[in-house]
Amino acid sequence: MSENQKKIWITGASSGIGKAVAKKFANEGWKVAVSARRKELLDELANHNNISSFPLDVTNQFQINNVFKDVLNAFGDIDICLFSSGTYEPKDEQNIDPDKIKNVINVNFLGVIDCVKVVEDYFKNKKSGHISIVSSIAGYRGLPNSSGYGPSKAALTNFSESIYFDFKKFGVRVSVVSPGFIKTPLTDKNEFPMPFLKTPEYAADKIYNGLVKGNAFEIHFPKGLTYTLKFLRILPYRLYLFLVDKLVKR
């Protein structure tokens, strides 16, 4: 491993967007640490010379601490952390199920907070680096059948906005990724037509360019969908709820 080789740690890397991003960075010459619960899938990824496997359950803070130490011991340094762990069960969200909503919040939101906390001192002491959090356009406004996933992503986006100011004082960049519909094992569970559906490789290209070549706080795509939803986000409740209700009934 070259001393000048850039390094990234990616959680939620066993499938979907996280997996595609790991491959993209590795193919671009980065040294990539991948984490997720499913060790066998991580080991497959680690067949790439630039990818190393570090299994992790983000709901276990003790594990997060140990895994980050292992990553630093193996890599010596980290330039970017991309936290993209997530879960989604659309059928479970058609009704309010407190236990299942709590599980979604634990993985999608609290797990990310614990990850950020673990790397906080490292980046602040280093006075450089980049923390990026994968949220979703589902966090822009409340959507039907999204009683857990949407709120968890809305909380992630708000959290990212909040910590942006504190980390900036230390020269550390914070960004948030807001993907639209990407064909992954999670979106495969949806039973409705998904507009502007894109591949994980498309998402990986957008994320790589946003993290490495851009400097925007939010990396969002595809623009045809995200700008439409950003417009809906500024509408007054009465008009927004009316329009969404009409769309759902189609």
Using an 8 Å Cβ cutoff, are 9 and 78 in contact?
yes
> Residue 83 belongs to what H/E stretch?
strand 80-83
How far is Cα 247 from Cα 241, in angstroms, rounded to an integer?
A: 10
Q: DSSP states of 2-19 as a string?
A: -TT--EEEEES-SSHHHH
How far is Cα 239 from Cα 245, in angstroms, rounded to an integer?
A: 10
**Angle separating helix axes 223-233 and 237-249, nearest 10 degrees:** 130
Domain that holds residue 108: 7-249
Domain membership flag for residue 1? no
Residue with tokens 């406004």: 141
What pLDDT does residue 65 have? Answer: 97
Residue 207: CATH number of its domain: 3.40.50.720
The amino acid occupying position 14 is: S
Longest pairwise C-alpha distance within the chain: 57
What is the full per-residue pLDDT of the chain (250 aa) written as tens digits? 566 899 999 999 999 999 999 999 999 999 999 999 999 999 999 999 999 999 999 999 999 999 999 999 999 999 999 999 988 776 666 788 899 899 999 999 999 999 999 999 999 999 999 999 999 999 999 888 788 999 999 999 999 999 999 999 999 999 999 999 888 777 767 667 777 789 999 999 999 999 999 999 999 999 999 999 999 999 999 999 999 888 776 6
What pLDDT does residue 114 have? Answer: 97
Counting the structural domains of the chain, the total is 1
Q: What share of the chain is helix, strand, coil (3-state, %, to 5)?
A: 50, 15, 35
What pLDDT does residue 167 have? Answer: 98
Token pair for 82: 């991309």
Neighbours of 99 (CB within 10 A): 7
Domain membership flag for residue 190? yes
In 76-187, which residue ranges form alpha helices assigned H by DSSP?
98-105, 111-126, 149-168
Domain membership flag for residue 173? yes
Output the CA–CA distances (angstroms, integers) from residue 168 to 152, 182, 212, 220, in the order listed.
Answer: 24, 30, 17, 21
Model pTM score: 0.93
What confidence tens digit (pLDDT) does each residue in 83-134 have?
999 887 766 667 888 998 999 999 999 999 999 999 999 999 999 999 999 9
Contact partners, residue 158, CB within 8 Å, separation at least 6: none
